Amino acid sequence: MNNTNMNGLDAGSLNMGSLNMTSIVVSTIVYFVAAFFIKRQLEEMGIPKGMTRGTVIFVLAAAVSYGAAFLVDLVFT
């Protein structure tokens, strides 16, 4: 019996682990870079530190990170 066929998929087409890892690594790096530059921009604008500024930094950096992960998936698939 051939064990390389699992639910209609070849064993060669199941190599998505490295792609997922690439996406995670790139999005993590992009998150920290985006957070750094967003924080610096908000400091230059004179916005005081607080919970709202921290939330804005988190949300914007996360959005940029998700976008980078999407682009990695789009390019490599």
Q: How far apart are CA 17 and CA 10, in angstroms?
A: 15
Q: What is the band of 14 on the pLDDT scale with cuts at 50, 70, 90?
A: very low
Provide the whole-model pTM.
0.74
Using one digit for the tens of pLDDT, what is the confidence trace for 25-68? 999 999 999 999 999 999 999 999 999 999 999 999 999 999 99
